[in-house]
Amino acid sequence: MFAYYFSIGLIYLVIGFAVALFFTFVLKKQAAGSFWIALAIAVLGAFLGGVIDFFLGDIIERLSNLAGAVNLFPALGVSLLLLWVFSLFNRDYDR
């Protein structure tokens, strides 16, 4: 049972890390000034996406599953949404 939840948590961490890398280095945007803040926001977003998946899983389950346990859409969507929102607040910080 521990290995099941550990693997789910690890997948969410990897999704958050990938989203932070993409947002920071590919899109060249900053969230509150540094990569580490972007990483924390993206990981939080991935886990919040997992919570959304838990409550709306029946509806979203038909879209896509990774390893039969993790739905990618909520984790990716909320991670990107949170980073986008925090980057909007960061516009004054860049100047």
The predicted pLDDT at position 55 comes to 84
52 found inside a domain = yes
Q: Is 54 left (phi over 0), alpha (psi -120 to 50) or beta?
A: alpha
Decide if 25 is inside a domain: yes
Contact of 45 with 17, CB cutoff 8 Å: no
Domain contains 95 = no
Q: Which domain does 21 fall in, by range?
A: 2-89
Q: Is residue 41 part of a domain?
A: yes
Per-residue pLDDT tens listing for the chain (95 residues): 888 889 988 999 999 999 899 888 888 877 767 888 888 989 998 998 888 878 877 766 666 665 666 667 778 888 888 888 888 877 665 55
How many domains does the chain divide into?
Answer: 1
Closest alpha carbon to 45 in 75, 69, 66, 19: 75
Which pLDDT value is given to residue 52?
82
The answer to whether position 7 is within a domain reads: yes
In a domain, 94, yes or no: no
Partner residues linked to 70 by β-bridges: 66
With respect to residue 50, please indicate whether it lies within any of the assigned structural domains.
yes
DSSP string for 33-69: TSHHHHHHHHHHHHHHHHHHHHHHHHHHTTT--BTTT
Residue 78 inside a domain? The answer is yes
